[in-house]
A = this chain, B = another copy of it.
Amino acid sequence: MPKRAILAGGGALPQSLLEAGDAILVTFHGTPVDARASQQIEARFEQLASLFARLKSEGVTELCLAGAMRRPVFDPTALDAGTAALMPRLMAALQQGDDGLLRAVIALLEEQGFTICAPHDIRPDLLASEGVMVGEVSAALQADAHRAAAVLAALAPQDVGQGAVVAKGQVLAIETLPGTDAMLEFVAQTCPNSGGILMKRPKAGQDLRVDMPGIGPQTISMMQKAGLSGLVVQAGGALILEREKVLARAASAGITLWAAP
């Protein structure tokens, strides 16, 4: 069995991957991680070359990027020699959209000989499978979901729009750089109690091994605050983190939760 390392960001995902099988947990300076493993490595983005060498010496062949990570701020004084040589490439990658940045990072990891594995390869049970999980899909929610899907499909070629909020056919918000929580806060402030839907789905061309949309209990709480009635994810296109909590919270908030084709 290949030896695996989890390159961890925030949230519940790294811990749930560690529970599914032995792996080295790699944390990054400045990125808080909520997980514990028998073997941990503390790394810095400025010292990626040292990290690669260390992982190879441990016999790691498989990497999984998991959890929310911000765009790093590089401290030039902390650079190791190997990473300094990579800097022109890394700086160019940082100028790009999220997809472009991730593609550059993955290319780098693959060149080093690592295989990239997706969180849902390790925990297929996290992946939303088609069907209604909580509540009932009314005709109104269905209509709003169709509208949201059409808007996101139109935007996808522009590398924008992992989510949208629609109520009674009106587009209340489209997800942009600040992310889902910021969008839901906007809806709470500008269009409270609309009873609409939140749709989350991957953009076309998004690398689902490393950037699958995820929802968790916080998503449901924010939706409740925004006065929404339904959450639609794409079947096979979203991770549901802390599923028991998500389902319980959606049920008690009266929020319909379904994975559409």
Contact = CB atoms under 8 A, between A and B. Distances in A.
Interface string A97-136: 1000000000000000000000000000000000000000
Contacts of A59: none
Chain A residues touching B, range: 20 to 34
Contacts of A157: 154
Interface in A35-84: none
Contact of A158 (B154, B168, B189): B154
Given A151-B155, A151-B158, A158-B154, A95 B168 contact: yes
A71 to B, nearest CB: 9
Interface string A141-180: 0000000001100110110110000001111111011100
Given A182-B190, A186-B186, A176 B172 contact: yes
Contact of A150 (B158, B169, B176, B186): B158
Interface in A224-241: none
A176 B174 contact: yes
Contacts of A160: 151, 171, 174
Contacts of A173: 176
A191 interface: yes
Number of copies: 2
B171 A178 contact: no
Interface centre among A96, A169, A170 (most CB of B within 10 A): A170
B155 A97 contact: no
Contacts of A186: 178, 182, 186
26 contacts: A95-B168, A96-B169, A97-B169, A97-B170, A150-B158, A151-B155, A151-B158, A151-B160, A154-B154, A154-B155, A154-B157, A154-B158, A158-B171, A160-B171, A160-B174, A161-B174, A171-B176, A171-B177, A172-B176, A174-B176, A177-B191, A178-B186, A178-B190, A182-B186, A182-B189, A182-B190
Given A154-B154, A171-B177, 19 more contacts: A95-B168, A95-B169, A96-B169, A97-B170, A97-B171, A151-B155, A151-B158, A154-B155, A154-B158, A155-B155, A160-B171, A160-B174, A171-B176, A172-B177, A173-B176, A174-B174, A177-B190, A182-B186, A182-B190
Interface of A: 95-97, 150-151, 154-155, 157-158, 160-161, 168-174, 176-178, 182, 186, 189-191
The 3 lowest CB-CB distance pairs between A and B, nearest first, are: A178-B190, A174-B174, A160-B171
